[in-house]
Structure 1
Amino acid sequence: MIRQLTTPYNYTQQENTCIITVGNNWESQSNCIKTLKTTLNAHFDREQNEKCCYCGLLYDRTGRGELEHIAPKGANLYPQFSYTPNNLAKVCQLCNSSSMKHHYDSVRTINQNYDQIDFKIVHPYLDNHNYHYRFSYGLLNVTISVNNDSDKARESIRIFELASEKRTRARAVQRNQERLENLYNIPTAIKERIKSVISRN
């Protein structure tokens, strides 16, 4: 239900030049950075199927999608990784809210080589989610639990409230909807209509 991401964004030479020009500043109002953020949003929507990298739910079930820095740039924690491809993904508004991750420091041990950082949570790209999480599938609930005594899974489940009844039921609704869409090969236009009706309820 929460799948490992495999396709970080690959910057063009022009985008790399833009990032260097603004001094790696994520808050830059430069036109090239605004364009890059639009491109990043589209990339992650496509690669993640509009699902949050932490909870696996569609953005529209938990609020809008937002660009996420897995090693947070906020509170001046790790601004050096602001544009690192494996540090960027898309997250739902709920998982990124102040009651959940927000400015939470997800790094246990820092390393200047990003791929060598030890994270406290299951990393969307660097960790095999099947190793860390175990799912049990029911019609009304899809429960999540810790697999292989994983501390990362334990922390992710705690921070993002992945085992809450609300999340458990939302995963079941989403799974049932996807199974029906696949079973009946429902066209995209009808899927969008169904989503809009469901989101009103």
Structure 2
Amino acid sequence: MVEDFVRHYGYAAVALGALAEGETVLLLAGYGAHRGWLEWPWVVLVAALAATLGDQFFFFLGRWFGPQLVQRFSGLENNLPRVQRLLHRGAPWAIVSVRFLYGLRIAGPVLIGMAGVAPWRFVLYNAIGAALWAPLVTGLGWFFGAGVAELASRLQWAEEILLAIAIVVLLIVWRLWKRRQRASSNL
């Protein structure tokens, strides 16, 4: 099922997933790249570009419609102090790191847009964040795929050993049963 999804939708799924939250789709795409269904460099490139564009969209949404969004979505207001603290401590790295913080992937760019960060500054550091995020998450999917492949080969080896042990045990039980049958028939 995963193989069919990744093969059928491939890079389009990566782009759509990266526009929003993206981690799950990107992990699957990294796994798919390991399996040879997708090309790893293309997955990273598509994810980085789509994530950058998606965050830019949310940034400008916050810049232009921030107060209305806060009224409509109360969760945004709850995250506003957290984003403002991050921006106050180190604006560039707050922008880079917001995509790595749980619950702030979409809300972060909206709130940064509301905070009045210059658009050129957000574009630059958002692109840097996407350039770090895409290969990291894709790489995790790739290594997960490698781990699954290694586990499968070890399980196959263990399965063969267990099968051999089961055959030996069955032979021993069968021989003991036969002996017992012969012993009871001799009485």
TM-score, normalised with respect to structure 1:
0.21
More strand by share: 1
- The structure with the largest alpha-carbon Rg is 2
Structure with more contact order per residue of length (Cα contacts < 8 Å, sep ≥ 6):
2
